[in-house]
């Protein structure tokens, strides 16, 4: 029996009962990776993988009454792949999407932090030591973002001029593997593992900056007793 994580049925997919018969249509897909506004990729896929053929269980809970029923997802009769191979592909795609999602969420935090630091630098020009730390921290964070994602992409044509970065490479790998129903090759696995290590390295740097450098900056800001809200 296979089960899909509850996160796949979030608030936007909740069944809202109406009078009469009710129907919920599941697209059989897992969650994909988050894509931030304005992100541009070359030949990449971050869509959730379709659930592999097998037996599944659906549960409906209302007023503390729970009912469940099993159902089958059948293999495409035209597919030349085996169920085990499809399951391997699903696991492969999900692992990439999970990693890319973490990377893109880190980029979202980086952009938020950089925006706040820029505002700080504009408001506290006289705090030389903190300004220097702020700029250094921003540069370090920006370097991580640029390693994970090609920040120079502004239009769909830009990937022709600027090399794709780590998350785009992983998304491209997804698009290649999901071209048919067959499992990833050994070479696919090796490329995935190599790219995963590089992304993990950047995420480790990001976490270290947050846990140490950003914390140090906040502590020194507090010690200087600067006004958070500055009015000229």
pLDDT in tens, 5-16: 444 555 556 677
Provide DSSP, 34-82: ---TT---SS---PPPBPPSEEEEEEEEETTEEEEEEEEEPPPTT--S-
pLDDT confidence band for 231 (50 / 70 / 90): very low
**Per-residue model confidence as pLDDT tens digits over 26-82:** 889 999 999 999 999 999 999 999 999 999 998 888 888 999 999 999 999 999 999
Domain ranges in the chain are 6-223
| Residues 104-117, mean pLDDT to the nearest whole number | 96
């Amino acid at each position: 029996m296979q089960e899909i994580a509850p996160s796949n049925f979030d608030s936007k997919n909740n069944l809202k009962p109406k009078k009469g018969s009710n129907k919920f249509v599941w697209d059989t897909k897992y969650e994909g990776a988050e894509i931030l506004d304005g992100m541009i990729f070359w030949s990449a896929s971050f869509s959730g993988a379709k659930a592999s053929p097998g037996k599944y269980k659906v549960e409906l809970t209302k007023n503390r009454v729970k009912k469940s029923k099993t159902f089958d997802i059948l293999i495409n009769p035209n597919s030349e792949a085996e169920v085990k191979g499809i399951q391997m592909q699903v696991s492969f795609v999900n692992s990439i999407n999970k990693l890319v999602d973490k990377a893109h969420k880190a980029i979202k935090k980086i952009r938020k932090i950089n925006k706040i630091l820029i505002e700080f630098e504009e408001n506290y020009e006289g705090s030389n030591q903190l300004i220097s730390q702020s700029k250094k921290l921003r540069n370090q964070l920006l370097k991580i973002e640029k390693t994970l994602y090609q920040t120079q992409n502004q239009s769909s044509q830009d990937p022709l001029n600027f090399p794709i970065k780590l998350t785009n490479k992983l998304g491209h790998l997804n698009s290649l593997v999901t071209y048919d129903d067959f499992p990833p090759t050994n070479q696919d696995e090796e490329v995935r593992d190599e790219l995963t290590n590089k992304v993990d390295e950047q995420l480790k740097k990001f976490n270290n900056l947050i846990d140490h450098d950003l914390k140090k900056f906040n502590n020194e800001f507090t010690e200087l007793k600067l006004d958070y809200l500055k009015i000229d």
